[in-house]
Amino acid sequence: MRILWRAMILVAGVAVPLCAQERVHRGIPASPSVSMRVWVPSGTVRIAVWNRDSIDVSGTMSASASLFGGGNREYAKFGIEPLRTGDTRLPEADLVVTVPRAAHVWVKMTAGTIETDGTAGEIELYTVGGRIIVQRATGVTSVESIDASVTISASRGDIRVRGGKGALQLVDVAGTASVTSVSGRVEIRGASAPEGRIEALGGDIAVDVLQLKGVVLDLQTHSGAISAVVRRPAVPLLDLVSRSGRVTNAAPTGQRVNGSITARSFRGPITIELRTK
């Protein structure tokens, strides 16, 4: 009967969505430092923050998906799973998860987009494919991806990024950072740079920031190119070595008070470009 009804509607010229979206909305009380786990195989997860003692989950999910979860004031878990046992398709959802600003949030996806904005606690983000976007984080940020691109902007604190072949970008970031990429390009640019180690096996590393004063950067590649832009009059101290690649340094001798860049590569070229502010 349902099939006959759908056929009659289509004949009448009315479109019937074959993959309907179901709206979801859950909320629970939580402490300001609640620890929370979010699991969404496919789609989009947006982590927002507020100054309230509660967690709010809202959005849509596919008709083949089911929302599970709950918790107490200290610990919570929400996720999307197949509605039917044995369904091998990735259940999809588009969720906005609003948490206390200082919460510890863990998000895992298979393919999709993870976005966070304004977090001050700890965030741990994992995805295989898609993209990860972190904005205005001031706590501890840990990101891991295989193919996904990663962009972290206007953030401070402790940052850890592990990437595969996706591009990694740190824009207007300060604090400390540990970044490792297999084959994806790593870019550090903007008004400031974090202090720490940036390592790429086959990918390139590019640094172009306005202010390096007080920053110590350790750049390492196996075969990827390393490039950095330095600016007069605050030229940082430079230590550049490539085992079999060409080293091109257009900058004068720098001073440690202006920051420090150590660049090492086995086979990749190292290039320093000098500009005037």
In a domain, residue 253? The reply is yes
219, part of any domain: yes
Q: Cα–Cα distance between 142 and 121 in angstroms, integer?
A: 11
Q: Does 211 reside within a domain?
A: yes
- Would you say 74 and 92 are in contact if contact means Cβ atoms under 8 Å apart? no
The residue type at 201: L
Q: Do the domain assignments include residue 73?
A: no
Considering only CA atoms, which of 64, 31, 49, 132 is closest in space to residue 96? 49
Q: Is 190 left (phi over 0), alpha (psi -120 to 50) or beta?
A: left
Do the domain assignments include residue 198?
yes
Torsion angles phi and psi, residue 6, rounded to 5: -65, -40
Asked, for residue 83, whether it belongs to a domain, the answer is no
- For the chain, what is the domain count? 1
Is there a domain that residue 255 lies in?
A: yes
Render each residue's pLDDT in the chain as its tens digit; 277 residues.
444 444 444 444 444 444 578 999 999 999 999 999 999 999 999 999 999 999 999 999 999 999 999 999 999 999 999 988 888 889 999 999 999 999 999 999 999 999 999 999 999 999 999 999 999 999 999 999 999 999 999 999 999 999 999 999 999 999 999 999 999 999 999 999 999 999 999 999 999 999 898 899 999 999 999 999 999 899 999 999 999 999 999 888 899 999 999 999 999 999 999 998 7
Is residue 266 a part of any domain in this protein? yes
Alpha helices in the chain (DSSP H): 2-11
Task: Show the domain range for 144.
Answer: 37-51+96-276
